[in-house]
Every structure is written in C-alpha cells, then in structure tokens.
Amino acid sequence: MHRFAAALVALGLVATPSIGWTEELVPQVPPRQQLGQHLFIPRDGVIDPFTTSFVASSSGVASGGANGPTFDLQGKQVSLEDYKILAYSQLFTGQWGWTDWWALRLKVLGSAYTGANASGAAGVGVNGVVRGSFGTTLGFRLAENLRVGAVVDVAWGPSVALSILDAIRDSISAGSVQTPVQNTYSTTVNGTLSLAWTMTRGLGGIFNASYLNGVVEVNQGSSDQDLLAFQGALDLDLRELGSIPLGLALDYSAGYSTGNRRFRRYVLGLGFFYTGRPGLTLGLDLGYRRAPLGTHDVFVTSFSGVFSLRFSFD
C-alpha cells in the first residue's frame, strides 16, 4: 500500500507542470514603442510611427528676441528695434492604439505670448491661441529593427490678439476708431511619413518628412501657407546599456515654405528623460527655434524648456 501511494504521488508530480515551467511558456509581448533591443523615448516635438496608447501632459516656457521694423502712424517703416517676447504653452494628448498598426489621437493646446519690452509690447501685443487636434497613425514593422508609418493630424481653433499699434494704424486708415482686438481662426493639416530604426542596443533614430498646409481666416478673408519639413532625431537610453535610468535625445528639423510668402524654420532640441520605470516618460526638452512670429514680419530666435509627463499602457 505504501509503494502504491508513493507511485501515485510521483505520477502526479510528473503529470502536473510546475508554476515556473508554465510562466516560461507564456510569451512576453514587447511594448509597441520597442524595436529590437531598443525602447524608443517618446517626445512631443518628434513625430513617430508607433501606435502606443498613452495619456500625456506638457508645459513649456520660451523667451525670444528679434530685430523687427517699427512704423509711424501712416504705416511707413521708421527704423529697426529689438523685440523681446515671452511665451507659455500647455498641451494635453491622448492616443488609443486599437491595433498594432492603427491608432487615433486627440490633442488640446493652449498658448499665450506677449512682448516683454516697449517695442515688443507695441509691435507684438498680447496673443492667445487655443487649438484642438485630431489625428491618426498607420504603422507597420518592416523588419525587427525597422518600422514605417503615415501620420496625419488636423488642428483647428481661434486666436485672439491685442495690439494697440495695429489699432491706431487701422483707425487712421479707416477714418474711425477700430478695435485693438483681432480675432482669427486657423485650420492646419499636417501629413508625415515617419521611419524608426534601432541602430544598436540602446540607440534609435527617427526620420520624418512632413507637408503642412495652414489656412488663417481674418476679417472675412483668408490666407494659406504651405510648409515642407524634414526632421531627424536620435535617442540613447543608458539604462539599456547598463544601470543608469537616463535617456538622452537630440533632434533637428528644417522647414521651407512653398507658398508666396517665403521663409524658413529651424528647430534644434535636446532632451533629458528618466527611464527607470516602464510605461512612464518623465523629462525636460530644451529647444532652439528660428521662425517667423505668426503673421508679423518678424523672425524670432527663441529658447524654450518643456516639461513632459506621459503614461503608456499598452
């Protein structure tokens, strides 16, 4: 009887797989932001072909300056002055990755900028911008270390500008008192082809080509502007190379207008991110930007800092 019981116990041990063996048989699905041996660091300023589900918030401040024209009351250029400008922005983003190849995205952006010295206050005034945005991403893995995607975003919303100098000029031209408040409404469509490539363990690159069309409606009239932009970005995660939970990111983009109003836009960014917790992106982006200011004939050189917090849950 004793031998029979022992045989039954032995049979049960052989027939019943252990918990550790069962766990080894369950495959672990890598995050959608990962290609090969590198998990890409998401950034607000860099479009990517990934369909990761996430919620994010970003707050940024910027300070800029430019040499711009000043005008007399008849609208004639008098001289060049130093414009100083301060800006603040707040962005909320949510993306839902329905499948590995398709995601939908919503954004809400609020920003304000104003002149920080006498010439800036007179020429730039005070401006507020609100934008809503809807977008989608279609992405496909071409190889273990390579992914390509098409990204489309449509943004719309009003802008309110308060400019005393413009109101005085308009009042003289019209022969009556004009309001210093100007309301505009803009719609922007941005299409991007994006390529992500894991170069080696811990290092990845993203390369984008974008076409942007913007339409601004002012005083029952409208104007449009087209922009062709190219962007390259690198990110390095020291945690994947050792034990330091620090991510470093670098990006550069150049934009060229293709419409009647010719201009160029350059942006250089450097980011520092905490990478010690999966699904959490916490970091600071520093940026240099050279671009025109809205509809003004002033090209601003600015420096910015953006603090970002993102939770991914796919």
State both tokens at 56. 């994010």
Residue pLDDT, tens place only, 128-143: 889 999 999 999 999 9
pLDDT at 83: 76
Residue 226 has pLDDT above 60, yes or no: yes
Using 50, 70 and 90 to split pLDDT, how confident is the model at 197? very high
Q: Is the pTM of this model over 0.75?
A: yes
Domains by residue range for the chain, with CATH: 33-312 (2.40.160.40)
Mean pLDDT is lowest, of 196-200, 225-229, 283-287, for 225-229
pLDDT at 14: 39
pLDDT at 148 over 60: yes
Q: Residue 235 has what DSSP assignment?
A: E
Q: Give the model's confidence band at 69: pLDDT under 50 very low, under 70 low, under 90 confident, else very high.
A: low
Q: Examine the pLDDT at 311 and tell me if it is beyond 90.
A: yes
Query: What's the chain's average pLDDT?
Result: 82
220: pLDDT confidence band, cut at 50, 70 and 90? low
